[in-house]
Amino acid sequence: MPKEARAKPGASPPSSASAFSGRHLLGLQELPAEEIRLLLEQARRYAPLSTQNRTKHPVLKGRLVVTMFVESSTRTKNSFNLAARRLSADTMDFAAGSSSLSKGETLIDTAKTIEAMGIEILVVRHPASGAPDMLARHVKAAVVNAGDGSHEHPTQGLLDIYTILEEKKRIEGLRVGIVGDILHSRVARSNIWGLLKLGAEVWVCGPATLIPEPLRDLGVKISHDFDALLPNLDVVNMLRIQLERIKGPPMFPSIREYARLFGLNAARMRRAKKDLLVMHPGPLNRGVEITPDVADGERSVILDQVANGLAVRMAVLHRAAGLAPFAEGGAE
Ligand code: ASP
């Protein structure tokens, strides 16, 4: 990975808001807390524009943003495309299935080929953990990780933190629970890095087979008893079981039993704090990790997460373009 993107978790934050420390966004593990705050503030400034169809910000005019998704996606790819267009960038979607990747070309060769067409920002999703990191070492374009295997999904982590901030006005001191298949979840990992850096108390909860014990070394607290944990939480982030990543023998007895022990339902909600924030990155498996009444209920901010994702991705593209924080362009 290029040096610029390798800020260590404990590295001192930039002293002023005059520059971002890099252009790639490979994970929240690498980003100092101050850089995360800058991105969140940049997103807050773009938020009013993110919902307007007619007004565009000219800040990325003439720049080419390519989305290269080698794994399926609904909201992330559309959100990046829309965010790029809101900033007046040209966009190109690289359809992995019908490309030379399926003829045996390496990811790096494919990326270099499309880079030769003049792209400046490459948004990549890949089933292999570390694929964006590898690309960032070989291409000149800024690489933005849109989810790599079970490693990280940094824009999801940022938009989750942004949504919590919008609702609770702080992160520090909040008790946040992440419930479900933590072992295979890139969303969990990005949330954990970001939330810990901003001072939240982070809990993970699920069957023992789906919780990596080494998380304790990062300062994450572990529970296998959702009923005991839930009443203490300010925020709960419910995750899908990543069945596509579970190979070999089953990791819990049955979906039915999983839902009984770890699903969020109306009965459990009655024992939660009145102002508990209910989150989910999507796609939802209704009736498994969350029941429809809770997903659509008044404490759910699931659709706000999707909406906030647009502003957050505008901020990430702004940074990837090498612009200074809060550089203005004026609407056109
Ligand atoms: N959409 C998220 C991801 O791409 C969460 C999920 O798939 O469960 O990781």
Q: Are 122 and 68 in contact (CB under 8 A)?
A: yes
113 pLDDT above the threshold of 90 = no
Using the mean position of ligand 1's atoms as its centre, give its distance from the Cα of residue 157 in Å.
11
Mutate to test the pocket of ligand 1, among 187, 189, 190, 238 (most ligand atoms within 8 A of CB): 187
Using the mean position of ligand 1's atoms as its centre, give its distance from the Cα of residue 70 in Å.
14
Residues in contact with ligand 1 by the CB-under-6-Å rule are 147, 153, 186-187, 240, 281-282
Q: What pLDDT does residue 329 have?
A: 55
**pTM for this entry:** 0.92
* Mean pLDDT on 95-104: 70
Using the mean position of ligand 1's atoms as its centre, give its distance from the Cα of residue 197 in Å.
22
Mutate to test the pocket of ligand 1, among 79, 185, 280 (most ligand atoms within 8 A of CB): 185
175 pLDDT above the threshold of 90 = yes
Q: Which atom of ligand 1 is nearest to the CA of 125?
A: 4
Q: Which atom of ligand 1 is nearest to the CA of 156?
A: 2
Q: What Rg value do the Cα atoms of the chain yield, rounded? A: 19
* Mean pLDDT on 146-167: 98
Q: What pLDDT does residue 117 have?
A: 85
Domains of the chain are: 3-152+309-320 (3.40.50.1370), 154-305 (3.40.50.1370)
pLDDT higher for 6 or 25? 25
Q: Report the alpha-carbon distance of residue 282 to residue 285 in Å, rounded.
A: 8
Q: What pLDDT does residue 2 have?
A: 40
Q: What percentage of the chain carries pLDDT values higher than 90?
A: 78
Taking each continuous run of H as one helix and of E as one strand, the counts in the chain are: 11, 9
Mutate to test the pocket of ligand 1, among 156, 284, 302 (most ligand atoms within 8 A of CB): 156
* Mean pLDDT on 255-267: 97
Most confident of 9-23, 64-78, 210-224: 210-224
* Mean pLDDT on 210-217: 97
pLDDT tens digits for range 290-312: 999 999 999 999 999 999 999 99
Query: In the chain, what's the furthest Cα-to-Cα distance?
Result: 57
CA atoms within 13 A on the CB side of 49: 27
The closest alpha carbon to 147, from 35, 28, 240, belongs to 28
CA 258 to chain centre: 25
Q: Whose CA is nearest to atom 8 of ligand 1?
A: 240
